[in-house]
Amino acid sequence: MTNPMTLSSIFAHNTDAGAIDAAIERHISDLGIPILVQVKAVHGGGVSLVGQVDVQPMVHMQDGQGKTYPHGVITGVPYLRVQGGTSALIIDPMVGDIGFVMVSGRDIQNVITSRQPSAPGSFRMHSMSDCVYVGGFLNGAPNQFIIMNGDGIRIVSPGTVRIEANAAEIACGLKVDGPITATGDVTGNGISLDNHTHTGVQTGSGSTGKPQ
C-alpha cells in the first residue's frame, strides 16, 4: 500500500531533490505496466476472428491519503489466442476470468481495426485504452481439461468430444470401455461387418448362433 502524504513529505517535495523524486515518480506511474483484471463481458470468439473482452482492474486506485477507489471498466480489449496461420486452439475467455492486460506504449487502435501495420491512432502513450488481455491467472479448478505429463495425455470433458476431419488414424491398439455405434460399415482384417458371408451354412428359416 502506498504511504499517505504527510507534512514532512510535502515539505520534501519543495526541495530540488524532492522535485526530482516527484517527477520520476510521476513518469514511472505513467508507464504502461501489466495490470491484474477481471473479465466483465466477452464479445465475439468461437470459430471467427479473435474477439474482445471488457475488463476491470482488480487493484483499486489510491489517493495521497490512502483512500481507495475502484477503476472503471476497460472496453474492447483484444485477447490472446494460441494460433499459427489458420490453425488455432480456441479457448475463449468467460465472464469472471482473471488475467493480466499488457499496456502498449502507443495507440494501437488503427492496428486493431485494420490488422495491418499502421500509424498510431493518436499521440497518447502508455494508456490502458491500448492494451491486450492474457488470461489464465487465479482462476478456479476446471472441469474440462487436457493434462500432459510423464504418464501420458488425459482428456476430460463433462460434455461430448467431437472430432471433425476428412479422416482419422490411430496408430496403436485401441481399448473402448462402452458400446460402439457406427452409421456405416465396419471392416476388420479385410472382412466387412455388413456384407460378409459364412460358409458351411445350410439355407432355411433358422438363424446362426452367436459369434465365436
Which residue ranges form the domains of the chain, and what is each CATH number? 1-30 (no CATH), 32-140 (2.40.50.230)
Q: What confidence score (pLDDT) does residue 5 get?
A: 53
Q: What confidence score (pLDDT) does residue 7 get?
A: 45
> Which residues is 98 bridged to in the sheet?
38
Question: pLDDT by residue for the chain (212 residues), tens digit each?
Answer: 445 555 455 545 567 777 777 777 766 665 668 899 999 999 998 888 889 999 999 999 888 888 999 999 999 999 999 999 999 999 999 999 999 999 998 999 999 999 999 999 999 888 888 999 999 899 999 999 999 999 999 999 999 999 999 999 999 999 999 999 999 999 888 888 888 777 777 777 777 666 65
d(CA 39, CA 99): 8
Grid cell locating 52: 474482445
Q: What confidence score (pLDDT) does residue 130 get?
A: 92
Grid cell locating 14: 519543495
- pTM assigned to the model: 0.76
Q: What confidence score (pLDDT) does residue 13 get?
A: 56
Q: What confidence score (pLDDT) does residue 19 get?
A: 74
Buried b (16+ CB within 10 A) or exposed e, 40-78: eebeebeeeebbbbbbebeeeeeeeeeeeeeeeebeebb
Neighbours of 97 (CB within 10 A): 22
d(CA 170, CA 147): 19
- The DSSP symbol for 9 reads H
State the residue for C-alpha cell 482384417.
Answer: 189
Neighbours of 129 (CB within 10 A): 16
Q: How far is CA 58 from the centre of its chain?
A: 18
